[in-house]
């Protein structure tokens, strides 16, 4: 008896070339249509409940081979509708990002090569292209030549390994061999607005969250350097060992930019490792007029910027730059016999990427980044980022001019923080009842906007007040999309205020 093999030439082999071509062409056609506007046929935020996707699919893998056509049908039927569309031009939540077409092709080719670039010899081109592409990005951002780049999967991983390097070089400790048992209490610093990945790094590194001091911010939500210096002195006096400061360029909540020059001076004075988290905001420095965002970062020991955030590279791709890559390598390199390069190759072997992070295996992520940088060119990248900043500026002006809304934070990059605040309540914002109502109104506003399917926003709290964020970063977002989102915001805010306003505040 034979079973249909649907293009599988032999039972244990891969898809036959012709079957691959047919399915591949269909896949490329689907992607092309999706990116060309097909994505706008779907609500940005998936309209599914937890478990919907799972329950539409069988509990077991199919026993017999299935044809690619049927699998692709199910991709369209079950997977796409269960997807929140990050590549939708109405995606304005968190940080708007784009997996651009050249990057999609890079992913395609990268998986065909299936390179694992743990050692130079297991991926010479992957290893060297990573150096080349990160060198290009470094020069585009105006970072110093001593900054040596290595790709990690996410900014969370980049910050974790950078802070592990910082911990490694604390004098008198030998964490690699002895761990932290018996060590003095280590402490690191970040602003109260720093990303949660820094908390996670503190947890993973054995510093603990109590070893991460959150420094208060100024009126514009930037780290207060005076408070940082005072905290360091206080901790030293209490017998603790300060070892690192994380400055944020473009906080996740409001995109505030910490005063890195002042922070760098404090780090130099106290010999602390300065790590800069510029996961999203760093990309703005490709523009001459935005270079200021990385001012002082030339003095950092390490800096992370995510090409998968605002450099149009499909997730995941995070660039970690390190002034002293030897420290990073010393913190992590462990060379078992089975990974040793022997013979003549050993003598001239250049760096092995596995030494610069936690994972041994690593994908060929540089390929997609290289393809994006070439397909758009540095000028193309600048044009796109400038356009996003311009869209944000326009929206910020409208919010400022609207009597029924207020802007909640400066908008130096491409994120606008705002909330509805009916005109007649403006003077009463300090009253507890009015404050609570404004939070409730804006929470309802967020749900209402997202329910339209046309735009997807997320929120934060700015000084405890519920705040909506409009984050622009998608290649396909135009002024028309932002105007439409603003129209929806205004109409829904007026409607909800009529419905929800308690009589006491009428």
Ligand X SMILES: *Cc1c(COP(=O)(O)O)cnc(C)c1O
Angle (CA) 248-377-155 rounded to 5° is 25
277 contacts ligand X (rule: CB under 6 A): yes
| 287-306: contacts with ligand X (CB under 6 A) | 306
CB of 102 to ligand X, least distance (A): 20
Which residue from 252, 254, 256, 477 is in contact with ligand X, where contact means CB under 6 A?
252
> Under a CB-based contact definition with an 8 Å cutoff, are residues 306 and 319 in contact?
yes
- Identify which range of 139-147, 149-157, 398-406, 422-430 contacts ligand X by CB under 6 A: 149-157
d(CA 19, CA 12): 15
Burial of 63 (0-12, 13-18, 19+ CB in 10 A): exposed
255 contacts ligand X (rule: CB under 6 A): no
CB of 360 to ligand X, least distance (A): 20
CB of 248 to ligand X, least distance (A): 5
195 contacts ligand X (rule: CB under 6 A): yes
Which residue from 280, 321, 466, 486 is in contact with ligand X, where contact means CB under 6 A?
280
Three-state SS letters, 76-91: HHHHCCCCCCCCCCCE
253 contacts ligand X (rule: CB under 6 A): no
- Identify which range of 153-161, 177-185, 347-355, 432-440 contacts ligand X by CB under 6 A: 153-161
245 contacts ligand X (rule: CB under 6 A): no
- Identify which range of 219-227, 275-283, 371-379, 417-425 contacts ligand X by CB under 6 A: 275-283
CB of 157 to ligand X, least distance (A): 7
Q: Which of these, 455, 297, 294, 288, lies nearest to 383 by C-alpha position?
A: 288
Phi first, then psi, for residue 373 (nearest 5°) are -60, -40
- Identify which range of 42-50, 131-139, 148-156, 398-406 contacts ligand X by CB under 6 A: 148-156
d(CA 267, CA 273): 7
CB of 249 to ligand X, least distance (A): 8
Binding mask 303-342 for ligand X (x = CB under 6 A): ---x-----------x------------------------
Question: Which distant-in-sequence residues (6+ apart) come within 8 Å of 177 by Cβ?
Answer: none
275 contacts ligand X (rule: CB under 6 A): no
Which residue from 87, 100, 127, 154 is in contact with ligand X, where contact means CB under 6 A?
154
Question: Which distant-in-sequence residues (6+ apart) come within 8 Å of 400 by Cβ?
Answer: 407
Identify which of residues 252 and 313 has a Cβ nearer to ligand X in the complex.
252
Report the DSSP beta bridge partners of residue 152: 318
**Would you give the DSSP letter of residue 312?**
-
Identify which of residues 280 and 312 has a Cβ nearer to ligand X in the complex.
280
End-to-end Cα distance, the chain: 79
DSSP per position, 453-492: SS-B-EEEEETTEEEEEEE---TT--HHHHHHHHHHHHHH
Kindly tell me the sign of the dihedral angle through the C-alpha atoms of 189, 192, 194, 196: positive
363 contacts ligand X (rule: CB under 6 A): no
Identify which of residues 156 and 460 has a Cβ nearer to ligand X in the complex.
156
CB of 153 to ligand X, least distance (A): 7
CB of 251 to ligand X, least distance (A): 6
Element containing residue 247 per DSSP (H, E): strand 241-248
Q: Could you list the residues that contact ligand X (CB under 6 A)? A: 154-156, 195, 197, 248, 250, 252, 277, 279-280, 306, 318
């Amino acid at each position: 008896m034979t079973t249909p093999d649907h293009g599988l030439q032999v039972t244990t082999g891969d898809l036959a070339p012709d079957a691959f071509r047919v399915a591949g062409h269909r896949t490329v056609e689907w992607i092309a249509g999706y990116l060309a506007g097909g994505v706008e046929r779907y609500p940005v935020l998936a309209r599914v409940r937890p478990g919907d996707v799972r329950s539409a699919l069988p509990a077991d893998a199919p026993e017999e081979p299935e044809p690619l056509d049927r699998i692709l049908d199910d991709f369209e039927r079950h997977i796409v509708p269960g997807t929140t569309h990050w590549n939708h031009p109405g995606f304005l939540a968190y940080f708007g990002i784009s997996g651009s077409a050249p990057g999609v092709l890079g992913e395609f080719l990268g998986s065909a090569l299936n390179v694992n670039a743990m050692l130079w010899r297991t991926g010479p081109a992957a290893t060297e292209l990573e150096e080349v592409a990160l060198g290009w990005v470094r020069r585009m951002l105006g970072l110093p030549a001593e900054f040596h780049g290595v790709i990690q999967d996410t900014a969370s991983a980049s910050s974790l390994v950078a802070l592990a390097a910082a911990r490694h070089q604390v004098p008198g400790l030998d964490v690699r061999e002895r761990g932290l048992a018996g060590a003095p209490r280590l402490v690191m610093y970040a602003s109260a607005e720093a990303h949660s990945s820094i908390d996670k790094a503190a947890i993973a590194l054995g510093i603990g969250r109590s070893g991460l001091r959150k420094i208060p911010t100024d009126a514009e939500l930037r780290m207060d350097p005076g408070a940082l210096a005072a905290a360091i002195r206080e901790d030293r006096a209490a017998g603790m060992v300060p070892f690192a400061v994380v400055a944020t360029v473009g906080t996740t909540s409001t995109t505030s930019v910490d005063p890195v020059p002042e922070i760098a001076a404090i780090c130099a004075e106290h010999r602390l490792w300065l790590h800069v988290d510029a996961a999203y905001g760093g990309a703005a420095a490709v523009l001459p007029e935005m270079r200021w965002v990385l001012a002082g970062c030339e003095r950092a020991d390490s800096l992370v910027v995510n090409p998968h955030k605002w450099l149009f590279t499909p997730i995941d791709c995070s660039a970690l730059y390190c002034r002293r890559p030897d420290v990073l390598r010393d913190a992590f390199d462990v060379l078992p016999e089975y990974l040793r390069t022997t013979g003549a190759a050993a003598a001239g072997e250049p760096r092995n990427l596995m030494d610069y992070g936690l994972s041994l295996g690593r994908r060929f992520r540089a390929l997609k980044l290289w393809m994006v940088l070439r397909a758009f060119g540095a000028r193309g990248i600048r044009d796109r980022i400038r356009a996003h900043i311009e869209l944000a500026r326009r929206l910020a002006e409208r919010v400022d001019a609207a009597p029924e809304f207020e802007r909640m934070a400066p908008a130096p990059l491409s994120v606008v923080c705002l909330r509805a605040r009916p005109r007649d309540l403006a003077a009463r914002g300090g009253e507890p009842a009015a404050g609570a109502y404004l939070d409730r109104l804006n929470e309802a506003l967020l749900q209402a906007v997202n329910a339209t399917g046309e735009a997807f926003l997320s929120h934060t709290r700015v000084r405890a007040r519920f705040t909506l964020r409009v984050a622009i970063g998608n290649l396909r977002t135009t002024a028309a999309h932002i105007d439409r989102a603003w129209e929806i915001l205004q109409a829904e805010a007026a409607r909800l205020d009529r419905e929800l306003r308690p009589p006491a505040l009428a």
